[in-house]
Amino acid sequence: MDAPEHSFTAPRREPWTAPRGLEAVLDAWERDRGFRRSFALDELRAGQPAEHAPLPTDLAPGVRRALEARGLRELYVHQAESYEHVRAGRDVVIATPTASGKSLCYNLPILDALAKDPEARALYLFPTKALSRDQEHALREWMNECGVPHGAITFDGDTPGDARRAARERSGIVLTNPDMLHAGILPHHANWARLFSNLRYVVIDELHMYRGVFGSHLANVIRRLERIAHFHGSKPQFVFASATIGNPAEHAGRMLGRDVALVDRNGAPAGPRRVLLYNPPVVNA
C-alpha cells in the first residue's frame, strides 16, 4: 500500500546575519553600559618593528647552511646578543616575550659548539615532559640539518631501555626534567661519565616556573650538578630562558649562586594590541 502524499514545506530560514568576530564582540560590550563600567583597563598598545642583526661570522658552515635553508639570513637582536654572551663563556638569562624566538637564542650557540666539537655535550632541563618532547623533535631536525653527528634524546620516566642507553653513551644533547636529574641521573653519574666529562652547557627553560619550594629544590640540584661535573673534569655554562618577569637576572643569579648576564631587549616584531581588563561586579548571593 502506497504511503499517502503530504504537501509539507519546511519553513524558510533566513541566513544568520548577526555580526560575528572579535570586533562585533567588542562593539557589543562597549554599547552595554553595565558591561562598560566594569572595564578596569582599556588600553591601546603600539606595535614594534623587528630589530635585526647579521648572522655571526664565526658560525660553523653546516649551521649557517641550515639557517639559510630555513630562510634565516639574519637574527633578531636578542638572539645575536645571546649568541655573543654564550660564545664568550658567560652564564646568561634570556627574558623576552612568548614567541620571540627564545629557543634559537640558546640552540644556535650550542649547535655551533657541537658542530665544531663533536665530543661536546649539553643538558636541557624542562619543567614538563611535554616541553621536553617538543624540543627533542625540533632539535633532532636542527642537528640533522647542521650536520651534528650526535642526536638529541629525552631521558625521563617514559624513555625505554634502549633509548636510555643511547642517551648515556652517544647523545649530544640530553633533555630531561629536574626530578629525573635528581633521582635518575645524578645518583648514577658514573654511568653518565661521557656526558659529565664533556658537559659544556646546561639550559634551564621556563625559569619563571621555578619559585618557592620548587625553585629552592632546583637550586640545590644545580649545586649537586656542578659538583659532579667538576668531579668529572668539566665546568658547564648555564643558560636560563624565562618569560618576562620583574627580576630575571636576580632570580637566575640566586638559582645559580653567581651573577649572570641579562638579555631582555626584544627584537621580534609585534603588532598593535588592545588590552581590556574586565573586573566583574560584586553580586550578593
State pLDDT tens for residues 107-127: 999 999 999 999 999 999 999
Residue 285's pLDDT band (cuts 50, 70, 90): low
21 band by pLDDT with thresholds 50, 70 and 90:
confident
Q: Is the dihedral of CA 210, 176, 224, 256 positive or negative?
A: negative
Q: What per-residue confidence (pLDDT) applies to 281?
A: 85
Task: Name the percent of the chain in helix, strand, coil, to the closest 5.
Answer: 45, 20, 35
Cβ 179 vs Cβ 157: under 8 Å: no
Strand partners, 45: 273
For the stretch 254-269, pLDDT in tens is: 999 999 999 999 999 9
Residues 203-223 pLDDT 10s: 999 999 999 999 999 999 999
Sequence-distant (≥ 6) Cβ neighbours of residue 82 within 8 angstroms: 92, 94, 105, 106, 108, 109, 239, 263
pLDDT band at 2, cuts 50/70/90? low
- Which whole number is the average pLDDT over 81-90? 98
Round to whole Å and give the CA distance between 205 and 186.
19
SS3 136: helix
CB 186 within 8 A of CB 155: no
**pLDDT-based confidence at residue 12 (cuts at 50, 70, 90):** low
Convert 209-233 to b/e letters by CB count within 10 Å (16 or more is b): ebeeeeeeebeebbeebbebbeebe
Give the pLDDT mean for 262-282.
91
Q: Which CATH superfamily is domain 52-263 in?
A: P-loop containing nucleotide triphosphate hydrolases (3.40.50.300)
d(CA 215, CA 14): 59
- The predicted pLDDT at position 7 comes to 56
Smallest CA-to-CA distance from 250 within 278, 208, 213, 222 is with: 208
